[in-house]
Structure 1
Amino acid sequence: MLTEARKAVPKDQRRSVPHARAQAAIPLWAMLAALSAVAAMSQAFRTVATLFASELQREFGASTQEIGLFAGAFHLSFAVAQIPIGVALDLFGPRRTVSAAFLLACAGSFLSVFAPNLPVLVASQVLIGIGCAPAFLGAIVFVTNRYPASQFARLSGLVLSFSGIGMLITGTPLAFVVETWSWRAGFLVLAILSAIVLAANVLLVSDERVEPGRERKRPGLLAAFAEIGPLLAQRHTLGILLLGGVSYAAFLTLRGLWAVPMLMDRHGFGLVVSGHIMLATSVAALLGPPVFGLLKPGNRGRRYWIVASAAFCIAAFAALAGQSSSLVDVIAVVLLGFMTGYFILQYADVRAAYVEEVVGRAFAVFNTAIFLGVAVMQWLTGLVGSFAAAQEADPFTPVFVVIIVLLAAGIASFVLLPWPRGKGWER
């Protein structure tokens, strides 16, 4: 019986039958949870720089610029790896791609524990950034491959919300570890958690088994990369990327750079009170994706929701630019956290706009636009804010005006440039 079962499996896909049976018994939600845990660890790694900065300055004598290099190494390597990871997801599937890449994150986190100097620590961040590159992509490609299209927004919203646990880990819990022991102990905790998550993905996750005779023809590696050019050239790609490049960037620029200084300088809030407001904003950002994921407006209706949500964000930034009361500013910041949920509709839009064979690469290109947009918007608002401060003017109003203009340009591009077409998309 065992021999017959093995013969029924194509030779190039053959694994032990007991192992195949064991994985077949694992429910899809458990596999998705394991992949979502990788996304949570990615969020944790990208938010540790603030916790470790003062410790690194004391131990290594690092300057502010060097701390910036340490923090930026993760994001740069993460962004650069997006397209190769997207190709790998299309060719090899989430299980092998995520597990192989996240092994680098585990190695980088353990290397960080024993880093003798700052250059080694920066190199470890590069490894971690590459290792985390398929974190969210792997989960949403898994959802694309294993669930009906009608469930994509809901499930990917849950994945995005669950990944926010990583930000909570690097809040009070990891701060306690660092304060009690050291930043190395903090990295050790992350390294152990990463190893557990990697083991869960290796043991639990399996890629979809295709019946003999129905295998999808996959291109070679070079051909897969070559297909990115035609994907970028499709009539609807530019509008998707231009709005994607400013939507998440608007919130991350507010949350990462301007919200706390605005609350402290405008309204005289202390750091603790501002921290409480940021915690409320983070909680709102956890609630937004699953709420927006419940929407099922169809492909064209989804685009109307995206435009309306982005326009709402413009209104919230306009309230901030107007130098209103402290209550208005706090409400606007928290609401903008909740509105991050509409980004999940943008991922669903990408899912619907491209054929399944290239959807991993499409997500990767979209992610690249997002992170490049974050870098450009943070640099540009920093330039504008610094110029305003040098003129002894309020730096926040011109910063928020710049964000409004960029969001408006993104919406105009999304609406006016060609939309996807075809009978399947029009549903």
Structure 2
Amino acid sequence: MPILRFFIPFAAAYFLSSLFRAVIGVISPELAREFSLSPQDLGALASLYFYAFAFAQIPAGVLLDRFGPRRAEGGLILAAAAGALLFCFADSFAALGAGRVLIGIGVAICFAAPLKAAAVWYPPEKQVALSGWIMLVGGLGASFATKPVELALGYFDWRMLFAGLAVLSLLAAMGIAWAIRDIPVDREQRSMAEQWRGLGGLLVHRRFWWVMPWAFTGMGTFISVQGLWGMQWLMHGAGYSKPDAASLLLAVSLISLSGYFFIGALSERLARRGVTNRHLLAAGMLLDLLSLLAISLRWPGEVVWWCLYGLGTSLNVLTYTVLSHGLPATLVGRGNTGLNLFMFIGTGSISFLVGWLISQLQAQGMATGQAFGTTFMCLTAVNALAATWYLLRWRTFEQR
């Protein structure tokens, strides 16, 4: 199958998936104003997408196995289009939430589907390159949800934005249906109950519990900050204007993308010098913690600390490789699925709990800026616990 015919529709769908995930942050001031939403309400709204995405992984994976990438992803993206339309016309918090849930379900396999298709059509070396390029496009989608969307809101409102995203989702579904060929499907498909039992086999593996807490907290924190709380912190905790906050978050996203290039370009050279993925992941954890602490305490050089946070979080992707390198081959696929599941459950939980804590502190009379600072310090502490667990268990998995 021609590379561009494969790449363009799948990459477009993954771009939209990442844009949907992060766009709530830039439009949060408008939503809060129009629907009188508290920080707790905003956190709950953001979390619905992540919970829907997480719990759709297993059933959506069954659909992917049974019907193939073309029909499974093409059909699910229609749910995302419907969710965007519902969000566009929402007149209540419940309608906004229902729209976010549909979107989360609709984009659940936007990365898994092209990986499955590529495994059938292309040799291993091309599969790696294609997955890297699709991840890059996804990162651009998250970046687009910052300053570019903020600029677009100068010309039309958030409802028109979601109407446009619904149309683009429909076009993406049509593109996949037209351009992508069906692949042979496994006739001995596993049921959903078997998929959950397979995940259970992963949950008894010690290596999974070594890295999972960081996926839950560290990776969950970054996605939550990128998707909502970074914008809110910069505006209400640090006193930035909305345009300046959007610009800084764009810089953070682009620096995070540059970190992926660093990993790809230098990881093999570093490994030959004894610096492996587990060392790079630990370095990323420490950089994350230092940056979050500096941001929470408003240390001088705030822009630099935010950019360093973006760089540190780019190393989080190595959580997957650190896990896979110590798993039996039969568990690697389930390892990625399980890590995704817990990462997005963590993101949803953190998104909600941050809003809940800010609202509780404000209700007790704490100033808004102080409430944000205290909450970010709590985030830093939770991340520190997960990083400490990883480091304390280092020798247990030293040779694996």
TM norm. shorter chain > 0.5? yes
Aligned pair 1:204/2:184, yes or no?
no
Tell me which residue corresponds to 2:306.
333
- The partner residue of 2:337 within 341, 364, 385 is 364
Deviation at 1:199, TM superposition (A): 1.3
Matched with 2:247 is 276
Within-5 A mapping of 1:11-410: 26-56=1-31, 65-115=40-90, 117-149=92-124, 154-209=129-184, 217-252=188-223, 255=226, 256-257=228-229, 261=233, 272-294=243-265, 297=268, 304-318=276-290, 321=293, 326-327=300-301, 329-349=302-322, 361-377=334-350, 395=374, 399-410=379-390
Q: Structure 1 pair 382/111, CA: closer, same or farther in 2 (3 Å)?
A: closer
| TM-score (norm. length: structure 2) | 0.78
**Unaligned stretches of 5+ in structure 2?**
none
CA contact (8 A) 2:47 2:348 kept: no
TM-score in terms of structure 1 length: 0.73
CA separation of 1:356 and 1:99: change in aligned 2, threshold 3 A: farther
Structure 1: gaps (5+ residues)? 1-25, 422-427
The amino acid of 1:410's aligned partner reads Y
Q: For residues 279-323 of structure 1, give each alpha carbon's deviation from its aligned partner in whole angstroms, at most 9, with x where no partner exists.
A: 21111122222432345649x989932333333431453255365
Paired with 1:159 and 1:70, the residues of 2 have a C-alpha distance of: 27
Output one character per residue of 1:252-280: Cα deviation in whole Å (capped at 9) or x when no partner. 355443687479867x7655444432221
In the TM superposition, what is the alpha-carbon distance from 1:196 to its structure 2 partner? Answer: 1.2
Change (3 A) 1:149 1:338: farther
How far apart in 1 are the matches of 2:43 and 2:79?
22
Looking at structure 1, the residues matched to 86 and 352 of structure 2 have their Cα atoms a distance apart, in angstroms, of 30
Q: Aligned-pair distance for 1:162? A: 0.7
Alpha-carbon distance in 1 for matches of 2:123, 2:184: 16
Residues 140 and 120 (structure 1), Cα distance of their counterparts in 2 relative to 1, 3 Å cut = same
Which of 1 and 2 has higher RCO (CA within 8 Å, sep 6+)? 2
- Helix, strand or coil: the match of 1:231? helix
* TM-align CA RMSD: 4.1
Output the CA distance in 1 between the equivalents of 2:10 and 2:63.
16
Matched residue type, 1:293 = G
Letter in 1 for 2:340: N
Q: Is the 1:321–1:397 Cα contact (8 Å) retained in structure 2?
A: yes
One-letter amino acid matched to 1:339:
G
Number of residue pairs matched? 388
The structure-2 alpha-carbon separation of the partners of 1:203 and 1:247, relative to structure 1 and needing over 3 Å to count, comes to: same
Partners of 1:406 and 1:157 in 2: CA distance: 27
